[in-house]
A and B are shown apart, each in its own frame.
Chain A
Amino acid sequence: MSAKLTSLQGNKACALGAVAAGCRFFAGYPITPSSEIAENLSRELPLVDGVFIQMEDEIASMAAVLGASLGGVKSMTATSGPGFSLKQENLGYAALAEVPCVIANVMRGGPSTGMPTRPSQGDIMQSRWGTHGDHPIIVLAPASVEEVYRQTIRAFNLSEAFRVPVVVLYDEAIGHLVDTVDLPAPGTFEVIDRKWADGPVEGFEPYRAGEDGVPPMPRPGDGYRTHTTGLTHKESGFPTQVPAEVTRVTRRLLDKIEQHRDVIEQFEQVECEDADILVVAIGIAARASERAVRAARERGIKAGLLRPITLWPFPEEELRRLAAGARHVLVPEMNAGQLILEVQRLCPDSARVSGLNRYDGESTHPGEVLAKIEELNHE
């Protein structure tokens, strides 16, 4: 059952989705093209007993988000490329210390200050590998305004369930798009809260996980009096450099994601099952690709679209399965070639993988994807 049909901007949808998911703390810093997320939350959070704070910089915003989350409150920040670069320091802390948090990154042209008001998909790899060291992270890539709303809720749920930072990654085109949306009514969607430690205080180890690999979190004030650190730590929470211990705790951190791929992975398929030409794309490039695929089908070309909604971890098995039956794999993206690296890694030799790249500050157009599909079809 839906609440009502309404028109909504992508960034506003992100803000409203956050509140619906239970976000009660936002710390941010103004940056185009994501500022509407902060602006909307500065209006919404006072109404729900939450806290909004504009910090002195991007780094402080991320740090404040983690401080609030460590206190037990669902928290988020929002940014774009230059700010996302600065978030990486504390994003790594969130990954290692297992602090739930959500970061919306509205992609603009880069590198550096780049093109603040133009769309891009240049942060596909940074969203996975931006912070140093081996680390777990989940990245969700919505392609419509309604999906921004739903995936922001899902971002909080995954973050809480697995104590992992979750990035909601979309391009400026989606962020500033106004779509007609059909939002789920409150109470009709799942809202997950983190597992709190509630056992005996004596002998409690904050990073001792059960079979699901996710340790229950001690809430300050509940008597556990634990230590949280960005140093590599063992189950007790205190630092270790013992090789066997480091291997064990790092393995669990990474396995938290691998172990739960069935819940974390999400993708959409359009005409994929008999696809001869498989298109793989995210965000606004995927919307253009969907239109191109449907147009190609009308022309009798067996094209299909695999759209990862969960970008990282990448839907490896599904891509392998679909690519096995395809003659060509096409990766349209708004950068010089990032998503294609992952696709090439996973595709069997039989499928030729080609890219369709633009990095001129324009969105991928359906016409250029269709033209490329037709070109590949003739090969």
Chain B
Amino acid sequence: MSETAATVGRKHKFEIRDYLRLDMFPHFLCPGCGHGIALRALLWAIFELDIEKDQLAVVSGIGCSGRLSAYIDANTFHTTHGRPLAYATGLKLARPDLHVIVITGDGDCLAIGGNHLIHACRRNLDLTCIMLNNEVYGMTGGQVSPTTSQGRFTTTTPNGNREPGFDACALAMGAGASFVGREVTLQTTALKNLVREGIAHKGFSFVEVISDCTEIYGRKNELGSSPEMVLSQKRSVLPKFDGTTVDKPFRAGDWTTGVLTREERPEYYSAWREHCQRVLEKKGGRSS
């Protein structure tokens, strides 16, 4: 992006306060929640990409993840449960000049919003979807979600979860997303870099962030203190993606992280405009 009056003289070191609505603080997240780290990574990536706040639109759904948009000093839209990708689709098609980023959660994105996710992957509109996966419905008090690990206790699985959990990245890849990546909140710089790559990718990008819910989920499952939970991510991560695709839609015990897939496919809006151009030329040709 070229240097404009707004960027001249800006700080060249990332300062998160420049991107937050400070009058909204203190925030509502629980102590130990990983969502704040994810938010920081997103804003850091925005800074590094030199995206103007006026040109940034953040669309979120419902749940703990959904509340994050309110803290961002940008054009923010806190929409309905599961629907942020559908709102973002309309917004981006109406305003292709905006950078449209969706923040969603495992329940918002994979349960009530699952249909919107797979079709967003298929269409390849230039959106970035950041799904914060904490394995639980936190806002409503800790119910089982589509990514809850088997055997885990939640308020609606008092005897342990018997259902398999989705591997969100495998789902997005299966649905045709042209950019898919996963990172854990422990790796803050790697997370920032992944989000940055996702935003820079032309087309639909899906980034899963493994985030911890210490208060509601961790406590119930005796997963330890907040630092213990974050550090435990280290044990579960397979940081070097070996190029083999995930062959099961279900969540494995280990997480492959980094960029899991990246391909160039026609971007939806550009393709739509080319289509319109062809239609107009055809019409013009016929009438003359």
Contact = CB atoms under 8 A, between A and B. Distances in A.
A178 to B, nearest CB: 25
A70 interface: yes
B86 A25 contact: no
Given A60-B86, A65-B90, A47 B80 contact: no
Interface in A46-75: 46-47, 49, 51, 53, 55-57, 59-61, 63-73, 75
B77 interface: yes
A89 interface: yes
Interface string A331-344: 00000000000000
B37 interface: no
B93 A63 contact: no
B166 to A, nearest CB: 18
Interface string B197-217: 000000000000000000000
A307 B90 CA distance: 36
Contact of A221 (B21, B87, B95): B95
B94 A67 contact: yes
A71 to B, nearest CB: 4
Contacts of B53: 225
Contact of B75 (A220, A230, A239): A220
B149 to A, nearest CB: 29
The DSSP consensus for interface residues of chain B is helix
Interface stretch (B155-163, B240-248, B275-283): B275-283
A68 B275 contact: no
B57 interface: yes
Contacts of A60: 83, 86, 89, 115-116, 119
A226 B59 CA distance: 12
Given A225-B74, A227-B70, A75 B90 contact: yes
A223 interface: yes
B86 A49 contact: no
Q: How large is the interface on A (under 10, 10 to 19, 20 to 34, 35 or more residues)?
A: 35 or more
Contacts of B78: 227-231
A93 B93 contact: no
A289 interface: no
B115 A223 contact: no
Interface in A193-233: 220-231
A319 B77 CA distance: 41
Contact of A73 (B73, B76, B83, B94): B94
Contact of A225 (B73, B89, B94, B272): B73
B86 A225 contact: no
A56 B114 CA distance: 11
Contact of B87 (A24, A67, A73): A67
A32 interface: no
26 contacts: A25-B94, A47-B276, A47-B280, A51-B94, A53-B90, A55-B119, A57-B115, A63-B86, A64-B93, A67-B86, A67-B94, A68-B90, A70-B87, A70-B91, A71-B90, A71-B98, A90-B80, A220-B57, A220-B75, A220-B91, A225-B73, A226-B75, A227-B69, A229-B70, A230-B78, A231-B78
Given A47-B283, A220-B91, 15 more contacts: A53-B89, A60-B116, A64-B89, A67-B59, A67-B86, A72-B94, A89-B83, A90-B80, A220-B75, A221-B95, A221-B97, A225-B74, A225-B76, A227-B69, A238-B24
Interface of B: 21, 24, 53-55, 57, 59, 69-70, 73-80, 83, 86-95, 97-98, 115-116, 118-119, 272, 275-276, 279-280, 283
The 10 A-B residue pairs whose C-beta atoms are closest, nearest first, are A67-B90, A64-B90, A63-B86, A71-B94, A68-B94, A67-B91, A68-B90, A60-B86, A71-B95, A67-B87
